Structure 1
Amino acid sequence: MENYFQPTLPRGSILEISSIGLAHMGDAVFELLVRSWLCAHGGATGRGMHRAAVALVCAESQAEKAEKILPLLTEEERAVFRRGRNAQVHTVPHHASRAQYSGATALEALLGWLYLQGERERINQLFCIMMEEEEVHGD
């Protein structure tokens, strides 16, 4: 039986996934990490936790966090990041610039790529760096 909770796809299969597809997967990975981080750090419950999660997963915040880890990426990770940043997105949220949205998409593509390879440790390492100076804000 396949384990869709912890997939590990062959590199060739992952290369066939579009940047937008990788970003779609990475969006879910980042959301789960943020929710786990909020639960682990307490201080936010109910509506406050939702607001805190939304503030952390928005394009502006993701783009800022992407900048923190960019110097730490391997050459292969940078290539995936660039591929995600160059993805052709047709709509950009009103509250984000095109550059911010591209940075967020790049981060999500990287996280999706790492996740589908089974690189949970690397994802966690990068996520911890992204969240180093973050504080929980909520009810």
Structure 2
Amino acid sequence: MELRTRIFTPEEARRLNPLQLAFLGDGVYELFIRGYLLGNNTALNVHKLHKEAITYVKAHGQSEIIKAIEKELTEEELYIYKRGRNAKSATVPKNADVTEYRFATGFEALVGYLYLIDNEERLSFVLNKSLDIISRN
């Protein structure tokens, strides 16, 4: 069974709405974080794993990640991130600051883009850097 859907060309992925990229990126990032937490905390119950995951996946954390790695992004990655950051979302969650939420949406768009084009090297870089940054904060 193939877990991945089709791979997009960079041109196809660029044509997607940045909120579509963020929609996918949110899921990819959450799955990565959940796998990381479970792999390193097998003694924790699901409630505690969930509470720990929230610190990684909330808008504030994602905003901090993208700010920290922005200078290390390629020109293409920066373009995708900025498209996501500047996309107008219909709603902003009550518990999120609007500015942080936009930065987080840009981060998620970047993750979704890298996943869709199957750029494992850069996706791994972004995801692993996120662990370092959140762990430091």
How does the TM-score come out when normalised to structure 2? 0.89
Other-structure match for 2:22: 23
Q: What is the Cα deviation at residue 88 of structure 1? A: 0.7
How many residue pairs are counted as aligned between the two chains? Answer: 134
Distance 2:22 2:91 in 1: 14
Q: What is the Cα deviation at residue 120 of structure 1? A: 1.8
Whether the 8 Å CA contact 1:44–1:52 is kept in 2: the answer is no
Structure 1 gap segments, 5+ residues each = none
Q: Give SS of 1:125's match.
A: helix
Q: Deviations over 1:32-91 (max 9, x none)?
A: 111111022216331100111122111111111111211110111000000000001121
Q: Which runs of 4+ in 1 moved over 2 A?
A: none
Q: In the superposition, relative to structure 1, how do residues 106 and 133 fare at CA in structure 2: closer, same or farther (>3 Å)?
A: closer
Q: Which amino acid aligns with 1:120?
A: E
Q: Give SS of 2:89's match.
A: coil
1:120 and 2:120 are equivalent in the alignment: yes
Structure 2 gap segments, 5+ residues each = none
Bigger helix fraction: 2
Q: Which amino acid aligns with 2:13?
A: I
Distance 1:10 1:106 in 2: 20
Identity in percent = 32
1:105 and 2:111 are equivalent in the alignment: no
Whether the 8 Å CA contact 2:65–2:134 is kept in 1: the answer is no
Q: What is the Cα deviation at residue 134 of structure 1? A: 4.1
Aligned-residue RMSD, C-alpha: 1.8
Q: What is the Cα deviation at residue 6 of structure 1? A: 5.5
Distance 1:67 1:45 in 2: 32
Other-structure match for 2:75: 75
How does the TM-score come out when normalised to structure 1? 0.88
Q: What is the Cα deviation at residue 4 of structure 1? A: 5.1
Q: Give SS of 2:132's match.
A: coil
Other-structure match for 1:32: 31
Distance 2:38 2:5 in 1: 21
